[in-house]
Amino acid sequence: MHTPDPAAQLAEARTAAQQLLHSARSLILASIDEHGAPLASYAPFALDEHGDFLIAVSGLAAHGRTLAHDRRVSVLLIEDEGAARQIFARRRLNFACTVDALDAAGRTAAFAALEARFGSIARLLDGLPDFSAYRLRRGAANFVLGFGAAFASPSGDLAALAALRPEKET
């Protein structure tokens, strides 16, 4: 049985996490509504200069209302099912995030970043009165590379990912 080199596996995980972050075009968003009920949704995103997520969300959508209610969300980026070698071990990157509703200048910058990434649809959404722009500030990160290969970064810095080891029972 081949035991992977821990340093090589860590380098592979850091590279794979960065690749997933930069190749994903949308994120899965988990939030809690005003009644404490969980809600899963998604949003296309762009990254700002700090690596935080920029999204535009309709206030008419359920997740638009939850973002206004609670500043804590979880973000998931996950490998496409068709690209996964094993459906039970899809590569996935999770961040605990803090939500910031953006002011006029931040909104302009967010929609410009979304337009640069997705084209003129962002300009159309910017003109709709129900759309708001948000920054999701990245916090702690977890990355799963595959079976038995999980990594974490308390700061959310993917260059600082460290291997998680199972706790031994005594």
pTM for the model: 0.90
pLDDT in tens, 80-130: 888 888 888 899 999 999 999 999 999 999 999 999 999 999 999 988 999
Nearby residues of 78 by Cβ (< 8 Å), 6 or more positions away: 28, 90, 91, 92, 93
Residue 68 pLDDT class (50, 70, 90 cuts): confident
Q: Is 60 left (phi over 0), alpha (psi -120 to 50) or beta?
A: alpha
Rounded mean pLDDT, 31-58:
94
Superfamily of the domain at 6-81+89-163: Electron Transport, Fmn-binding Protein; Chain A (2.30.110.10)
Contact 126, 56 (CB under 8 A): yes
Domain segments of the chain as ranges = 6-81+89-163
CA 17, CA 30: separation in Å to the nearest integer? 20
Cα 107 off chain centre by? 19
